[in-house]
Amino acid sequence: MQLRVGQGFDIHPFSSDPARPLLLGGVQVEGRGLAGHSDADVVCHAVADALLGASGMGDLGSMFPDTDERWRGADSTALLREVVSRVTAHWQVMNVDCTVVAEAPRLAPYLALMEPRLGAVVGAPVSVKAKRGEGLGALGRQEGIACLAVALLFQL
């Protein structure tokens, strides 16, 4: 039996556009949106990178480069779905665990929405936790949001 672990990380600053929605884990969250080439969903991006890393298939930026206008404003859940399709041709996803780091907004009310949405896309259990930056660094100063993810894969 071959198991592989991958880790993913993503971070985006808050957008200066007050109309930009905040999307995390495929869920619209009340708060200021994040700046990015796609919809800037740091949770989907970190999960995708964890899956790609575990499978040895590179990273999200190589697969969907921000220099390609086709991906401008892209739905990160759709990008994650494509990553899952490629990864699951050779691997079974066992589980994914995520930690979102954000001083604001408070994410506790949204976690129970993110987990099943991500789990449906990934095809395996996904847990999402939220932590604060405790006032330290850019995240603590409420300059953006980051996410760390770990994925466990089983080779088919």
Q: Are 152 and 47 in contact (CB under 8 A)?
A: no
What is the tens place of the pLDDT at every residue in 139-151?
Answer: 999 999 999 999 9
CATH of the domain at 113: 3.30.1330.50
**Collapsed DSSP state (helix, strand, coil) of residue 99:** strand
What is the tens place of the pLDDT at every residue in 20-73?
Answer: 999 999 999 999 999 999 999 999 999 999 999 999 999 999 999 989 888 898
pLDDT of residue 156: 86
**Total number of domains in the chain:** 1
The whole domain housing 84 covers 3-155
Contacts of 140 (CB under 8 A, 6+ apart): 103, 132, 133, 134
What's the whole-model pTM score? Answer: 0.96
Strands 3-13 and 22-24: unpaired
